[in-house]
Amino acid sequence: MSKTIFQKIIAREIPAKIEHEDEHCVVLHDIQPQAPVHLLIVPKKLIPRVSEAAPEDQAVLGHLLLVAAHIAKKLQLTHGFRLVVNNGPHACESVPHLHIHLLAQRQMTWPPG
């Protein structure tokens, strides 16, 4: 099984603009941003998608949300931000490695498209 692009970034095999890193995750800038701020919060543990997360992944999943809040505060995203998790091809999942999109600094619409 080949590594996902995120595994290669975590292993420093591919360069990326990293905003934050800790023992559980990395936060990097999306290379095709959909908003002025578009970061990806990626667990270091390979979890292919939310629907494949296991009970033992609960702590890391919670950690990802806390990191999102920390980054939003650090970047002073006081007007709000959106967190998005895609799951499967109909949700436009492009990498089979769970990640959270943090989007901000533009008006978001509802419902999302």
Query: What is the strand order of the sheet 18-21 is part of?
Result: 18-21, 25-29, 37-43, 100-104, 81-84
Cα Rg of the chain, angstroms: 14
Active site residue 99: yes
Q: Reduced to 3 states, what is the DSSP secondary structure of residue 83?
A: strand
Long-range interactions of 16-22: CB distance < 8 A, separation 24+: 19/71, 20/67, 20/70, 20/71, 20/74, 22/67
Q: Please report where in the chains the tokens 């990293």 appear, as a residue.
A: 18
| Active-site residue, from 38, 79, 90, 99 | 99
Q: Which residues are marked as active site?
A: 99
